[in-house]
Amino acid sequence: MNALPEHLSSWSLTDEGRALERELQFEDFAAAFGFMTHMALVSERMNHHPEWFNVYNRVRIRLTTHDAGGLTELDLRWAEHAENAVAQGKRLRRGAS
């Protein structure tokens, strides 16, 4: 993949276009963990799970489909769900990416 859809412009293509990454910064740990809990349920429904890392109020996400050796529609759909969760007020800190 060479370019992302405009609605995913806060994400970055990495690993020569084989992965999608974003770091979020929330107001506090509870907000970050709440987002992760919400997205864990989405992940289970989709049967598609991110690589992610959390420290206090930050969540770093990396999406790729290992079986396909790169990005697939599932990764883009997961990122869209994450964007919707953030937009619905998961207490994202202002000024964060």
- Whole-number Å distance between alpha carbons of 18 and 34: 28
Share of the chain above pLDDT 70, in %: 89
pTM of the predicted structure, to 2 decimals: 0.86
Q: Which residues contact 96 (CB under 8 A, 6 or more apart)?
A: 23, 24, 25, 26
What confidence tens digit (pLDDT) does each residue in 30-85 have? 999 999 999 999 999 999 999 999 999 999 999 998 888 888 999 999 999 999 99
Alpha carbon 80 to chain centroid distance?
Answer: 8
- Whole-number Å distance between alpha carbons of 42 and 70: 20
Sheet with 12-14: strands ordered across: 12-14, 19-25, 58-63, 51-55
* Residue 93, pLDDT above cutoff 80: no
| Range scoring the smallest mean pLDDT among 19-28, 73-82, 84-93 | 84-93
